[in-house]
Amino acid sequence: MTDFAKTKSLFHLPAGLLYLDGNSLGPLPRAAADRVGAMMQQEWGDLLVTAWTRADWINQPSRVGNRVGKLIGAPAGSVVMGDTLSIKLYQALASALEMSAERKIILSDSGNFPTDLYMAQGLIKSLDRGYELQLCEPEEIENRLSAEVAVLMLTEVDYRSGRLHDMRSLTEKAHEDGILTIWDLAHSAGALPVRVADCDVDFAVGCSYKYLNSGPGGPAFIYVAPRLVEQVQPALCGWLGHQAPFDFGLDYRPAAGIERMRIGTPPILQLTALEASLDIWDMVDIEDVRAVSIELSSLFIELVEASCPELELASPRDERRRGSQVSFRFEHGYAAMRALINRGLIGDFRAPDIMRFGFTPLYLEAGEVRKAALIIEDVMSNRLWDRPRYHEHSPVT
Ligand SMILES: *Cc1c(COP(=O)(O)O)cnc(C)c1O
């Protein structure tokens, strides 16, 4: 069994704060500051540009990619880090469309994260080849699969409700119709067991600053199935995805394997911070994370439902169909979340009425979940949210 008391001690968690928002931004691993500080002094400071080889910065995106790969069931050499999730999604989609040239439909669901849909809309416009983005309800996906669909593009865990798609079954069904699949694992990586290779998915992308705790702006990851990667023609042809970047040739030739999904200079400081977090992940069995996450989220639902009749559960009650977050609907959810944050309980709000709470066994335990439920009860039963200052919207929710 994973030693969660130990993993908890390895994070900086401000005293008196209940942090139920690690699904949006993971906390600071204590070792990250020293690790990044040492890297800055010894590598950037002392080695300067020679650190690209002497400290092997140049291979850091694939080195770290292999470690992230272990958390999503990807074999070595099939994951690389870099850029933002929006960009990695764009790359995956552009490549997938290129590979099924005759088909024109991109299928996704209304629960997908808006940036994924926006990136698809932008790509469709620039390609100008008659592609169409079709959205349906999450439950309708299966019925909408057909030989007309080029790409099925889904986020495994819905960012609002926490509803978990059946990645294995949908991928299998999509493949029966010759459809390529792109899975966004933003709310899966580090939250639950993921087996991209075993489920035979074609492309997967995700970010590292949520459950993987790399810090704000940490790089995204991209996985391409090894059986496909040599056919992939990257749409964003950056020099570091070139076969021989330092030949400085005038024409693009993709690098072998997953390296071709690299674009430009990688974020070395952020990758180094992520390495400090992955050291903690090395001590963890993701099956244990899932088991404790279910315990914590089920306890939370039970306590909140028992004391707050105004809050309506927006997440699946069936734990097997839920990711690692719990959401409640409340008309004044924004103000209520502001009131909770003011009381030291941090979750977040997603329009129009969703109060969202993330469960992260690496640094959250049952005692804190109980305390959180008591604060919610107090805020709700005493209408503490109903103060003018809690109703003023800030640009980030
Ligand atoms: C968090 C999240 C994003 C964020 O994309 P960035 O480019 O990292 O800002 C994208 N997609 C999903 C599904 C997310 O949950």
pLDDT in tens, the chain (397 residues): 999 999 999 999 999 999 999 999 999 999 999 999 999 999 999 999 999 999 999 999 999 999 999 999 999 999 999 999 999 999 999 999 999 989 999 999 999 999 999 999 999 999 999 999 999 999 999 999 999 999 999 999 999 999 999 999 999 999 999 999 999 999 999 999 999 999 999 999 999 999 999 999 999 999 999 999 999 999 899 999 999 999 999 999 999 999 999 999 999 999 999 999 999 999 999 999 999 999 999 999 999 999 999 999 999 999 999 999 999 999 999 999 999 999 999 999 999 999 999 999 999 999 999 999 999 999 999 999 999 999 888 888 8
Residue 328 and residue 20: Cα distance in Å, rounded? Answer: 13
User: Among the options 113, 328, 334, 349, which is catalytic?
Assistant: 113
- Opening angle at CA 120, ends 252 and 130, nearest 5: 85
Q: Which amino acid is at 144?
A: R
- Measured in Å, residue 211 CA sits from the centre of ligand 1 at 12
3-state helix, strand, coil in the chain (%, to 5): 45, 15, 40
- Measured in Å, residue 383 CA sits from the centre of ligand 1 at 33
Residue 90 and residue 182: Cα distance in Å, rounded? Answer: 10
Residue 204 pairs in a beta bridge with: 183, 223
Residue 292 and residue 156: Cα distance in Å, rounded? Answer: 20
Q: How many CB atoms lie within 10 A of CB 215?
A: 21
Q: Which amino acid is at 122?
A: G
Residue 109 pairs in a beta bridge with: 136
- Where do the domains of the chain lie, and which CATH numbers do they carry? 4-30+285-391 (3.90.1150.10), 56-281 (3.40.640.10)
Residue 10 and residue 26: Cα distance in Å, rounded? Answer: 13
Pocket lining: 212 vs ligand 1, CB cutoff 6 Å: no
Pocket lining: 91 vs ligand 1, CB cutoff 6 Å: no
Residue nearest to atom 4 of ligand 1 (CA): 85
CA 163 vs. chain centroid, Å, equals 14
User: Among the options 83, 109, 184, 353, which is catalytic?
Assistant: 184
Residue 53 and residue 83: Cα distance in Å, rounded? Answer: 21
- Measured in Å, residue 86 CA sits from the centre of ligand 1 at 6
Sort strands 79-81 and 18-19 into parallel, antiparallel or unpaired: unpaired
- Measured in Å, residue 42 CA sits from the centre of ligand 1 at 33
Annotate 191-251 with DSSP letters as a single string. Answer: TS---TTTTT-SEEEE-SSSTT---TTPPPEEEE-HHHHTT---SS--GGGBSSGGG--SS
Pocket lining: 115 vs ligand 1, CB cutoff 6 Å: yes
User: Omega before 309 cis (within 30°)?
Assistant: no
What are the tokens at 94?
A: 């552009």
Using DSSP's 3-state secondary structure scheme, residue 164 falls into strand
CB 116 within 8 A of CB 106: no
Question: pTM for the full model?
Answer: 0.97
Of 261, 255, 365, 372, residue with least CA distance to 308: 372
From 23, 86, 115, 324, give the residue whose CB has the most ligand 1 atoms within 8 Å, as the site to mutate: 115
Dihedral sign for Cα 324, 360, 373, 342, please.
negative
From 21, 118, 159, give the residue whose CB has the most ligand 1 atoms within 8 Å, as the site to mutate: 159
